[in-house]
């Protein structure tokens, strides 16, 4: 455990609850997608929950989080109301973005969740901007920027790391390496694929590779990285090894990878393994964990009901929020 | 009233803007070097390296950093050395800055000013001579200003600073040394107000940026031929002041639309479209269009001149529209 991060039982159980909230949100989203209530693209985060929860729980509320299109987990971990998130997926007026954004474009300014951004790599320059604003104002906030292994191939990754390093910007780049960019393996698409975190060193940014399936390891590494970043030492990069249990999106049966590979990773499910460790360590009983699942399911079922009951945006809303006032 | 250059007008506007501590600038060689067009000369010494930030040659990276800082409450001014380089920042401008207000249901805004330089005529070849401002004007969520005089530069830049949305502030490479009067008091030219640069009764010439200057010179020559041309300078492409254009055409009954970029897909087609929709019954002849030749801009001097509209071509189009 990182120095200064003494977690009590209640906090550990809270991590479990937060991960489970994301998992159940995704399970229910998939069901609603199959029912046709959620349309377009739906990219699920199943399997990567330890990253969102371990990393974001280490932040201050005023720190910025920005991410890619697989954004439900990060949004919920940053505190977005599940009702507003689910309603957005339904395209309802009560959604966080009033139904204008959809699954890939969740935003919650009050929580400083600065968006799901659906153009691969596009969130990286924005993250340096959030960090620059904070640095210029001297308000001490940092930016946490999630990206996938696929984004390493984009020029914006390299431009942003360089700028962040040159200007010592308070930004933590967090690579979720889930081994696939849509259907292509990281080996196929990235020449220097086996040690992605070392790309950072080319920009004189310290970096580390960690196990992204273990919430406590993610938390520990993030806290160390944050101490570096908030201390005015410039950016840091974490590469977390992880796996998405489902296809790239709901439209993807993942025929490009072996079921045996999926099974191997599912054995390391970040929620079940963490739950088992809580029981083994005497922090919680299985009954308590079951109760948490029931509570979480109630929250998400209520979110689905809220989304279902909410109105679609009125036609008059079409031209709202294209431009601001003068 | 003082007479200053277009370049000095931009510099003055920037100095004014920098009085607001949320404002800072980013761009390539805007510091020590003073900017590729010498617009930012002296700003580094006056405002320091924290606020006059020289960037690596990474247009998407620093334009996106500007967009992010704007979303986080700052008022950044980004300089893209020429509009041709905006192509390297297109993702940040179109997919991020222009979309974030709408896609966030109005939660976020991106008051980012991107200053850039458009136009040909400087013998710098096809990759450095394009006029792409119309592309941005076609995207909801962005504002586009295209000043033709020092007076308009100052007034429009002040208005740009009041916008809550991304603004492409598009200067013209051949206008920097042109001179003009500016008022001493701090006037603002609101976006969406075209300017009748010259009143006339026989025909309306609608143009913007350097082509508004070309249209003015053409109008002077037309006067000696007994033709009274009204020159409407659009000043902003988004929002577009359709009212002033339509009113002018209703008065004159004839129109020619002039722009520097290519005919196909040019912004002028949009202006012609609104004239036929809203002033058709007032028209005595088809609306004429003058646009750049549909070639990559050539380097060699005389070939390049042949590719860009000039007074002679505007006069020719006016006379054709008037049946002379």
| Residue B271 distance to chain A (closest CA, Å) | 22
Strands (E), B67-166: 75-80, 113-118, 143-145
Residues of B in contact with A314 (CB under 8 A): none
Look at B96 and A160 and tell me if their CB atoms are within 8 Å. no
Residues of A in contact with B105 (CB under 8 A): 95-101, 107, 321
| DSSP structural state of residue B299 | S
Work out the minimum CA distance from A129 to partner chain B, whole angstroms. 4
The pLDDT value recorded for residue B152 is 98
What digits encode the pLDDT tens for the residues B194-243? 999 999 999 999 999 999 999 999 999 999 999 999 999 999 999 999 99
Percent of chain B with pLDDT over 70: 100
- Provide the pLDDT for residue A325: 79
Q: Rounded distance, CA B11 to CA A109, Å? A: 34
Query: What is the pLDDT confidence band of residue B35, given thresholds at 50, 70 and 90?
Result: very high
Instruction: Select from B98, B114, B90 the least CA-distant residue to B26.
Output: B114
State pLDDT tens for residues A144-201. 999 999 999 999 999 999 999 999 999 999 999 999 999 999 999 999 999 999 999 9
- Which superfamily, per CATH, for A9-304? Thiamin diphosphate (ThDP)-binding fold, Pyr/PP domains (3.40.50.970)
Q: What is the pLDDT of residues A241-285, one digit of tens each?
A: 999 999 999 889 899 999 999 999 999 999 999 999 999 999 999
Pick from A107, A117, A155: CB nearest B107: A107
**Dist. CA A129–CA B245, nearest whole Å:** 39
Selected catalytic residue, list B8, B28, B59, B171? B59
Catalytic residue check, B220:
no
User: Phi and psi at residue B22, in whole multiples of 5°?
Assistant: -80, -10
Q: How far apart, in Å, are the Cα atoms of B132 and each of B107, B110, B172?
A: 30, 21, 12
Domains and CATH numbers, chain B: 2-182 (3.40.50.970), 195-321 (3.40.50.920)
Q: What is the pLDDT of residue A319?
A: 97
Q: Go through chain B and tell me how many residues it has.
A: 324
Model confidence pLDDT, tens digit, residues B66-81: 999 999 999 999 999 9
pLDDT, mean of residues A2-21: 87
CB count, 10 Å around CB of B323? 8
Orientation angle between helical segments A286-309 and A270-280, nearest 10 degrees: 140
Assess whether pLDDT exceeds 90 at residue B148.
yes
Between the alpha carbon of residue B197 and those of residues A229, B32, B53, B231, B318, the distances in Å are 54, 37, 37, 5, 17
ipTM of the complex: 0.96
Give pLDDT tens digits for A121-159.
Answer: 999 999 999 999 999 999 999 999 999 999 999 999 999
* SS3 at position B258: strand
The residue written with tokens 């929860």 in the block is A53
* For helices A286-309 and A9-34, angle between their N-to-C axes, nearest 10 degrees: 40
Out of B24, B55, B105, the one facing A100 most closely (by C-beta) is B105
CA quadruple B316, B317, B322, B324: dihedral, nearest 10: 20
CB distance A132–B140 less than 8 Å? no
Please tell me which residue in B28, B79, B96, B128 is annotated as part of the active site. Answer: B128
The pLDDT of residue A3 is above 70? no
Could you tell me the sign of the dihedral formed by the alpha carbons of A279, A283, A287, A288, in that order?
A: negative
Band (pLDDT 50/70/90 cuts) for residue A6 is confident
pLDDT tops 80 at residue B36: yes
C-alpha A157: how far from chain center: 18
Q: What is the mean pLDDT of residues A291-319?
A: 98
Mean of all residue pLDDT scores within chain B: 97
Q: Given an 8 Å threshold on Cβ–Cβ distance, is A136 in contact with B100?
A: no
Cβ atoms of A173 and A235 closer than 8 Å: yes
The helix/strand/coil state of B240 is coil
**H/E/C letters for each residue in chain A?**
CCCCCCCCHHHHHHHHHHHHHHHHHHHHHHHHHHCCCCCCCCCCCCCCHHHHHHHHCCCCCCCEEEECCCCHHHHHHCCCCHHHHHHHHCCCCCCCCCCCCCCCCCCEHHHCEEEECCCCCCHHHHHHHHHHHHHHHCCCCCEEEEEEHHHHHCHHHHHHHHHHHHCCCCEEEEEEECCEECCEEHHHHCCCCCCHHHHHHHHCCCEEEEECCCHHHHHHHHHHHHHHHHHHHCCEEEEEECCCCCCCCCCCCCCCCCHHHHHHHHCCCHHHHHHHHHHHCCCCCHHHHHHHHHHHHHHHHHHHHHHHHCCCCCHHHHHCCCCCCC
pLDDT digits (tens, 9 = 90+) for B174-198: 999 999 999 999 999 999 999 999 9
CB contact under 8 A, A107 and B66: no
- Per DSSP, B296 falls in state P
Quote the pLDDT of residue A326: 46
Interface test with A, best of B23, B26, B47, B72 (most A CBs within 10 A): B72
Closest residue by Cα to residue B263 from B238, B243, B232, B288: B288
Cβ distance of B106 and A133 shorter than 8 Å:
no
List B233's β-bridge partners, or say none: B195, B207
For residue B91, the chain A residues in CB contact (below 8 A) are 119, 122, 156
Which tokens hold the place of A178? 């889930």
Cα distance between residue B157 and residue A322, in whole Å: 21
Spell out which residues of chain B touch residue A120, defining contact as CB-CB under 8 Å: none
Helix (H, G, I), strand (E, B) or coil at B53: strand
Domain ranges of chain A: 9-304
Give the tokens for residue B324: 């002379």
């Amino acid at each position: 455990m990182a120095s200064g991060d003494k977690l009590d039982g209640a906090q550990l159980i809270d991590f479990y609850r937060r991960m489970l909230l994301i998992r159940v949100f995704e399970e229910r989203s998939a069901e609603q997608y199959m029912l046709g209530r959620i349309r377009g693209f739906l990219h699920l985060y199943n399997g990567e929950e330890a990253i969102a929860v371990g990393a974001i729980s280490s932040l201050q509320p005023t720190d910025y989080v920005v991410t890619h299109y697989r954004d439900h987990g990060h949004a919920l971990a940053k505190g977005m109301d599940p009702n507003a998130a689910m309603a957005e997926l339904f395209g309802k007026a009560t959604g966080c973005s009033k139904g204008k954004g959809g699954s890939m474009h969740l935003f919650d300014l009050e929580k400083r969740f600065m968006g799901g951004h659906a153009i691969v790599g596009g969130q990286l320059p924005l993250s340096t901007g959030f960090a620059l604003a904070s640095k210029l104002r001297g308000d001490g906030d940092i930016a946490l920027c999630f990206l996938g292994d696929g984004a390493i191939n984009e020029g914006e990754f390299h431009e942003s790391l360089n700028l962040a390093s040159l200007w010592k910007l308070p930004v933590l780049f967090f690579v979720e390496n889930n081994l696939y960019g849509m259907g292509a393996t990281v080996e196929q698409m990235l020449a220097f694929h086996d040690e992605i975190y070392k790309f950072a060193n080319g920009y004189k940014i310290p970096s580390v590779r960690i196990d992204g399936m273990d919430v406590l390891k993610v938390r520990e590494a993030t806290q160390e990285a944050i101490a570096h970043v908030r201390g005015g030492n410039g950016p840091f990069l974490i590469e977390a090894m992880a796996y998405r249990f489902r296809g790239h999106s709901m439209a993807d049966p993942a025929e490009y990878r072996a079921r045996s590979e999926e099974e191997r990773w599912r054995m390391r499910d970040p929620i079940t393994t963490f739950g088992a460790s809580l029981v083994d360590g005497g922090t919680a009983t299985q009954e308590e964990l079951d109760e948490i699942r029931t509570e979480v399911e109630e929250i998400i079922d209520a979110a689905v009901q809220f989304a279902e009951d909410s109105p679609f945006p009125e036609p008059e809303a079409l031209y709202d929020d294209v431009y601001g006032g003068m | 009233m003082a007479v200053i250059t277009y370049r000095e007008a931009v510099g003055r506007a920037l100095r004014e803007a920098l009085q607001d501590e949320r404002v800072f600038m980013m761009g390539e060689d805007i510091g020590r070097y003073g900017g590729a067009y010498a617009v930012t000369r002296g700003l580094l010494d006056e405002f320091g390296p924290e606020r006059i930030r020289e960037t690596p040659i990474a247009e998407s990276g620093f334009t996106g950093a500007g967009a992010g800082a704007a979303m986080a409450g700052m008022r950044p001014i980004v300089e893209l050395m020429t509009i041709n380089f905006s192509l390297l920042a297109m993702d940040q401008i179109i997919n991020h800055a222009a979309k974030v207000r709408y896609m966030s249901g109005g939660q976020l805004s991106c008051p980012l000013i991107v200053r850039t330089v458009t136009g040909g005529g400087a013998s710098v070849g096809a990759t450095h001579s394009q006029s792409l401002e119309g592309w941005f004007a076609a995207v909801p969520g962005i504002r586009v200003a295209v000043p033709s005089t020092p007076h308009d530069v100052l007034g429009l830049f002040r208005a740009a600073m009041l916008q809550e949305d991304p603004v492409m502030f598009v200067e013209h490479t051949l206008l920097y040394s042109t001179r003009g009067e500016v008022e001493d008091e701090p006037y603002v030219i609101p976006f969406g107000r075209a300017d009748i640069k010259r009143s006339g009764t026989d025909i309306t010439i609608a143009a913007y940026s350097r082509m508004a200057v070309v249209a003015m010179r053409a109008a002077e020559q037309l006067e000696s031929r007994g033709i009274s041309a009204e020159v409407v300078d659009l000043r902003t492409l988004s929002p577009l002041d359709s009212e002033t254009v339509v009113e002018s055409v209703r008065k004159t009954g004839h129109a020619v639309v002039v722009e520097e970029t290519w005919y196909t897909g040019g912004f002028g087609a949009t202006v012609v479209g609104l004239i036929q929709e809203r002033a058709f019954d007032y028209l005595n002849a088809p609306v004429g269009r003058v646009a750049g030749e549909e070639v990559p801009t050539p380097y060699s001097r005389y070939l390049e001149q042949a590719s860009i509209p000039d007074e002679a071509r505007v006069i020719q189009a006016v006379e054709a529209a008037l049946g002379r």
